[in-house]
Amino acid sequence: MPVETLPQDVKDKIIIVSGSAHEPLARATAESMGMPLGEVERRKHLDTERYVRIEESVLGKHAFIIQPHVAGKGMSVDDAFFEHIMLI
């Protein structure tokens, strides 16, 4: 249940996306604002290179990226930080 929902005209100008480090945190944050979490395509290639792409337009919107810089889920701190930079 959202703590405080935003007016629809404000929601239309915001996108919230998540990196791989802690998607449940990003999902809970978006839900608490009454908003969906933006779609992000993520791939990890065999040579450990990562690919991320925001699947919807951010043109003219305020984009919030939720990505803690912590190790876990098969990621190092460096991987989390680099994925964050790629989302920017």
- pTM of structure: 0.83
Tens of pLDDT, residue by residue over 28-56, are: 999 988 899 999 998 888 877 889 999 99
Q: What is the DSSP letter of 73?
A: T
What is the C-alpha radius of gyration for the chain, rounded to an integer number of angstroms? 14
Q: Do the beta carbons of residue 18 and residue 55 sit within 8 Å?
A: no
1 pLDDT higher than 60: no
In the chain, helix, strand, coil percent, each to 5? 30, 25, 45
